[in-house]
């Protein structure tokens, strides 16, 4: 089969339809414009620049003047707001989104639905990474990692380690006080 020679589309026709590009020139890139940038390392704020994201990472910060906004997957107008690097919360309990009595009364599926809603809100507040300090969050983490649900990166610790009367001690006050009383008697009363 003979190979057809490559002829640029613009050379065949200059009508408006043929001059439209085939797709984004900056594949998987987003442009954020009209923002004041705090880069996290300098005392000075950066103005008059745009931020280019590739996937979930900052690719570059470029001068806004003369910046061609076409061809990006999305152009986001920051409307004069501030842009900062993502925040990291190092102590979070994703699976505890409700007061303890409510958690004890609800099903795991209900709690998971509330968690999905809550982590989306957390991400919108600028927290892009969470260190979960205890809980069964591995399924939620997997869903975020696979982009099934929207949320921050999650670094889970798994099961909670706790002392008596600590965060992970869910026994009643009566049971806890009897253990403490017997321990005190065995240590100090001979």
Strands 26-37 and 72-83: parallel
**Pair (47, 100) in one structural domain:** no
Cα separation of 53 and 31, whole Å? Answer: 6
Q: Which H helix or E strand runs over 50?
A: strand 49-54
pTM for the whole thing? Answer: 0.64
190 or 46: which leads in pLDDT: 46
Residue that the structure tokens 């017997």 belong to: 182
Of residues 173 and 141, more confidently modeled? 141
CA distance 157 to 137: 9
- Count, residues in the chain: 190
pLDDT of residue 47: 94
Name residue, tokens 């006050």: 173
Q: How many domains does the chain have?
A: 2
pLDDT in tens, 10-32: 434 444 444 444 555 677 899 99
Angle (CA) 24-28-32 rounded to 5° is 90
User: What angle, 0 to 180 degrees and rounded to 10, lies between the N-to-C axes of helices 108-124 and 138-145?
Assistant: 50
In a domain, 128, yes or no: yes
The domain boundary residue, chosen from 22, 52, 85 = 85
**Looking at the domain assignment, is residue 48 inside a domain?**
yes
Confidence band of 40 (pLDDT split at 50, 70, 90): confident
| Enclosing domain of residue 143 | 88-159
Q: What is the average pLDDT score of the chain?
A: 81
Query: What are φ and ψ of residue 30, in 5° steps?
Result: -125, 145
Residue 185, classed as helix, strand or coil, is helix
Using an 8 Å Cβ cutoff, are 140 and 115 in contact? yes
**Is 53 found in the same domain as 114?**
no
pLDDT tens, position by position, 83-105: 998 999 999 999 989 988 898 89
Q: Which two tokens stand for residue 2?
A: 């003979």
Residue 189 lies in a domain: no
């Amino acid at each position: 089969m003979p190979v057809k020679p490559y002829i640029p589309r613009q050379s065949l026709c200059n009508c408006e339809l043929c001059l439209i590009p085939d797709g984004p020139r900056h594949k998987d890139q987003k442009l954020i414009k009209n923002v004041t940038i705090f880069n996290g390392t300098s005392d000075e704020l950066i103005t008059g620049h745009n931020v280019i994201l590739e996937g979930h990472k900052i690719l570059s910060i470029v001068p806004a003047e003369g910046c061609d906004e076409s061809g990006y997957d999305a152009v986001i107008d920051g409307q004069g707001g501030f842009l900062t690097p993502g925040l990291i919360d190092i102590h979070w309990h994703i699976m505890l989104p409700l007061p303890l009595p409510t958690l004890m009364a609800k099903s795991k599926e209900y709690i998971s639905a509330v968690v999905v809603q809550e982590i989306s809100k957390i991400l919108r507040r600028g927290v892009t990474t969470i260190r979960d300090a205890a809980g069964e969050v591995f399924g939620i983490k997997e869903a975020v990692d696979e982009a099934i649900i929207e949320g921050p990166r999650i670094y889970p610790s798994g099961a909670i380690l706790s002392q008596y009367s600590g965060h992970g001690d869910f026994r009643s006050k009566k049971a806890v006080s009897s253990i403490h009383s017997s321990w005190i008697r065995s240590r100090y009363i001979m």
